[in-house]
Amino acid sequence: MKAIIIGTSGQKQIDFSAPIGIHLNLQNNQTLGAWHVAPPSIKPHREGDFIGSIEAGAPVNFNDISFNPHAHGTHTECVGHILAGDYQVLNALKKNFFETLLITVAPVLIEGDLQITKNQLIVAIGDSQVPESLVVRTLPNNTTKTFQQYSHSNPPYFSQGAATYIRELGVQHLLVDLPSIDREEDQGALKAHKAFWNVAESIRLQATITEFIFVPDTVLDGPYLLQIGLAPFVNDAAPSTVYLYEFKDLL
């Protein structure tokens, strides 16, 4: 199905039959993970003599699933991730489609850590108009990102200045291919999260962060239509599906 949308760059055509998935699946006993959490478990439910598996003789497959959305794959989170109170990601994400800009950056070594800085973002964005969402792909962009165990690895993260700059650009929805925009161990400082959500002043209740995506090298930097779908968990974060759609010029 094709549709015409009117966005910041005028009228563009979208082919909804050609989505580009940039989310990572959640699977039983997967190696992908972070935050020192055991792998997710997807197992047949057991109760008495009942085993919820057709292979075990049950009439249906009936699995129990145990996982942590922050640790086990692509997820979208709201400010409730870092603040006490009734903040739910389902209330933060009121729609599913957004204009977005995909950029690529190579984190730089600062004081022993790989970081994404404000200056890097300025260079990567260049003259592009930044819409309400931003997708950041980091280099190197190996497929190991799809199964890597990040615990105890101190992966790259965003500087406070970079997160502040993204907020000042008006970005409501930030998507990254990292387990977090903050340092793995920072004694709870969470400077990038707090800067992005502006918790010291006027909290941005409708802003979200999506982590653990993966954008293949074949997907070029530039503008896209973004689709985020949430699993309906009443929680600060939920597993999410993320798709990009290419803009086509009208013929």
**CATH number for the domain harbouring residue 106:** 3.50.30.50
d(CA 248, CA 246): 6
pLDDT of residue 5: 58
Structure token pair of residue 32 = 């992908």
> Is residue 161 in a domain?
yes
> Is residue 222 in a domain?
yes
> Is residue 15 in a domain?
yes
pLDDT tens string, the chain, 251 residues long: the values are: 566 655 655 677 898 999 999 999 999 999 999 999 999 999 999 999 999 999 999 999 999 999 999 999 999 999 999 999 999 999 999 999 999 999 999 999 999 999 999 999 999 999 999 999 999 999 999 999 999 999 999 999 999 999 999 999 999 999 999 999 999 999 999 999 999 999 999 999 999 999 999 999 999 999 999 999 999 999 999 999 999 999 987 65
pLDDT of residue 151: 97
pLDDT of residue 73: 95
> Is residue 154 in a domain?
yes
pLDDT of residue 249: 75
Give the chain's domain count.
Answer: 1
> Is residue 54 in a domain?
no
> Is residue 56 in a domain?
no
Contact, 133 vs 175, CB < 8 A? yes
Range of the domain at 9: 2-39+68-248
pLDDT of residue 12: 78
> Is residue 34 in a domain?
yes
Structure token pair of residue 111 = 């004081």
> Is residue 59 in a domain?
no
pLDDT of residue 8: 59
Please choose, from the candidates 93, 223, 242, 111, the residue with its C-alpha nearest in 3D space to the C-alpha of residue 176: 242
